[in-house]
Structure 1
Amino acid sequence: MLDCFESEPKAHANNQQVNLRDGFWVNDVQVSPATGELICHGRQTRLEPKVMDVLVLLALQEGQVVSAETIFEQVWPRAIFNPISIRRAINQIRNALGDLGKDVLKTYPKRGYALHGMIKVNAVSPKLLQGFSLYKQTAFHRAPAYLLCSLAVLMLCGVVGIFFIATSSSPKIPHVSNLRPISATLEDESFSLFTPDSNAMIYLKDPANDTLGTQVWLSSLDRTTSNLIWQSNEHIRYAAWVRPSVSSYKHQLLIVSQQGNELVFESLLMDSHYQKHSVQRHFTFNGTLGIGNFVVINDSVVFLSKEMGVSALYRGNLRTGFLDKIYEPTNGFLPYRIANAEGASTVAMMGFDDHHRSQIRLLDVQSKRVETIATLDENWYFITYADVSKGYLLSDGKRLRYLDNQNESL
């Protein structure tokens, strides 16, 4: 039971939770937690299980500010606090609610988030309760914070150790010590990646003032220097290094930003010291609400986005600006995350099958041929390709898993 209801009769709080599990409305948006679906003006959107849990938690406390730490403790009770998971969930909920102005789901800097709207409860079948994962109260939820953190760190170290032992010819066990953050500020730092030479880190920072756009920062790994590279007027969603299109520049950072109801793809052209010299716009994509990550293949960018409420996979040519749709979801598979894969024209897709299980499929963007390589349990929603071992690292927010193309995991 949520702490905020402890001053009220317990039966009342439990009944309210059950009613919201049955389905509810946020203003004119219908929400079905069991299926993960939202219907907004005829547009259907599906949220990942944990993201839906965040929405239900905020709906239970409509109008009240809930801290990021409280949200994380309730939705990811066994994981180490990670604000990126919170910000990612908040962005997905806003997109699903059509809340472009952030008027329904508001951010209160340094305090948390609050859902403002008319919450109406459905009177639907209890079958919708099936598969709902939030508020399973166990003794583990009440364990001391330091114990949970210790167990999580031990588990993470164990999985990473097994991975390196199994994929390396050397019998030595890697040793990691003195871990330190690259940055530590009160602002929203939502994304990071190594520079091509692996000597520094690029990351995105959203100032506490929501009226400002995203900043692109460069920080050395020893934390001795940290420089602002670029201040955007819009909110950047994702970035990746690509091969420079202009020979006079050493580095090119491809970024995508949300500008109203369209996505804008452009590049920052930099010298060898990562100083920005110019910005090159590639193309815009109209009628979209949100984007996941993207994958660069040769001169094209492959990305997962929503058009009229339906997620699909698109390909855009960075030189010509030509756009085409290369994969549409089916009743048997709904992709929600993509990654690089082995092969010059292959993309790995993670999504839900018709039983709401996480599944990984490979898509050849040239032939459009699709191959299923793994069917997992629910709640796996992060995937990245490990080029060294030719496999995939997966995460559900509290566990790591390694998977190769033959569906063999460690």
Structure 2
Amino acid sequence: MIEKPFIINNQFFITPLLGLIKQNDGQNETRLEPRLMHLLCMLVANKGELVTRALLTKEVWDNYGNADEGLTQAISYLRKIFNDDGKTLIETVPKKGYVLNAIITIPKTENNVVKVNPNKKKVYWIAVVVITALIIGGYFIFRTSHIASKHPADVINGAKQNDSAKLKSPDALETSKSKNADKIPDTAKNSKPSPDLKK
């Protein structure tokens, strides 16, 4: 099977490995199952020549029981995709096979990779560097202005407020005394000395 992309009649862009057929208008896109793409690639590889039904059923369907009927349906489906209502693109040779009458072109690429303009690459990398520098610069400017906005007096006043908050109110002191009173042993609570038993 053909692996490199190709174009049929300057109208249909075929990518065999993806099983994809795109029209030049960019609106219509069709995915083919691997068997149909294999069939199309066989016709393209032998364009202008008769490809027998026997060869197609053997190569594509591996002589499966209903391969002959499957081939007829597959050709019909391909004709719909290529708008080949007159059966001129894929011509039928009765009881023999099919001939693909098409202009096949290979897209102008190097190693199947479309060349990217080197100037576009430079612009891209410059943009990345500039954006990164702006982000880093913005971070340090924000951080510096945030630290500078805290005056020493604010820091001292904040510390004093925290210390004063730790001091308890008079009500809180009373409550803590009463709580502590419960913790005093019973002997310490009685102010009278115990009676002398020896008398």
Deviation at 1:77, TM superposition (A): 2.1
Runs of 4+ in 1 over 6 A off after TM superposition: none
Partner of residue 46, structure 1: 31
Deviations 1:152-201 (Å, cap 9, x if unpaired)? xxxxxxxxxxxxxxxxxxxxxxxxxxxxxxxxxxxxxxxxxxxxxxxxxx
Counterpart residue identity of residue 57, structure 1: M
Question: Are 1:23 and 1:32, in contact at CA under 8 Å, matched by a contact in 2?
Answer: yes
CA distance in 1, matches of 2:66, 2:99: 19
Question: Are 1:47 and 1:92, in contact at CA under 8 Å, matched by a contact in 2?
Answer: no
Deviation at 1:82, TM superposition (A): 2.2
Question: Are 2:57 and 2:63, in contact at CA under 8 Å, matched by a contact in 1?
Answer: no
Counterpart residue identity of residue 34, structure 1: L
Partner of residue 61, structure 2: 76
Partner of residue 21, structure 1: 3
Deviation at 1:83, TM superposition (A): 1.1
Question: Are 1:22 and 1:125, in contact at CA under 8 Å, matched by a contact in 2?
Answer: no
Partner of residue 89, structure 1: 74
Deviation at 1:120, TM superposition (A): 1.0
Alpha carbon RMSD of aligned pairs, Å?
A: 2.1
C-alpha distance 124-94 of structure 1, shift in aligned 2 (>3 A):
farther
Question: Are 2:90 and 2:98, in contact at CA under 8 Å, matched by a contact in 1?
Answer: yes
Partner of residue 67, structure 1: 52
Spell out the pairing of 1:284-323 with structure 2 (5 A cutoff).
none
Spell out the pairing of 1:233-244 with structure 2 (5 A cutoff).
none
Structure 1 residue 37 corresponds to structure 2 residue 47: no
CA distance in 2, matches of 1:38, 1:109: 27
C-alpha distance 125-79 of structure 1, shift in aligned 2 (>3 A):
farther
Deviation at 1:79, TM superposition (A): 2.6
> Secondary structure of 1:56's match?
helix
- Given candidates 39, 61, 84, the residue that maps to 1:99 is 84
Spell out the pairing of 1:366-405 with structure 2 (5 A cutoff).
none
Partner of residue 119, structure 1: 104
Deviation at 1:93, TM superposition (A): 1.0
CA distance in 2, matches of 1:64, 1:105: 11
C-alpha distance 52-26 of structure 1, shift in aligned 2 (>3 A):
same
Which structure is higher in strand share? Answer: 1
CA distance in 2, matches of 1:83, 1:54: 13
**TM-score (norm: length of structure 1):** 0.25
Deviation at 1:103, TM superposition (A): 1.2
> Secondary structure of 1:117's match?
coil
> Secondary structure of 1:54's match?
helix
Overall identity of the aligned pairs, in %:
28
Deviation at 1:22, TM superposition (A): 1.2
Counterpart residue identity of residue 39, structure 1: K
Which structure is higher in helix share? Answer: 2
Deviations 1:131-151 (Å, cap 9, x if unpaired)? xxxxxxxxxxxxxxxxxxxxx
> Secondary structure of 2:18's match?
coil
Question: Are 1:21 and 1:34, in contact at CA under 8 Å, matched by a contact in 2?
Answer: yes
Deviation at 1:108, TM superposition (A): 1.1
CA distance in 1, matches of 2:62, 2:31: 23
**TM-score (norm: length of structure 2):** 0.50
CA distance in 2, matches of 1:124, 1:36: 21
Question: Are 1:23 and 1:33, in contact at CA under 8 Å, matched by a contact in 2?
Answer: yes
Deviations 1:368-409 (Å, cap 9, x if unpaired)? xxxxxxxxxxxxxxxxxxxxxxxxxxxxxxxxxxxxxxxxxx
**Is the radius of gyration larger for structure 1 or structure 2?**
2
Question: Paired residues, what number?
Answer: 109
Deviation at 1:124, TM superposition (A): 6.6
CA distance in 2, matches of 1:106, 1:71: 15
Counterpart residue identity of residue 48, structure 1: E
Spell out the pairing of 1:297-376 with structure 2 (5 A cutoff).
none
> Secondary structure of 1:75's match?
helix
Counterpart residue identity of residue 94, structure 2: P
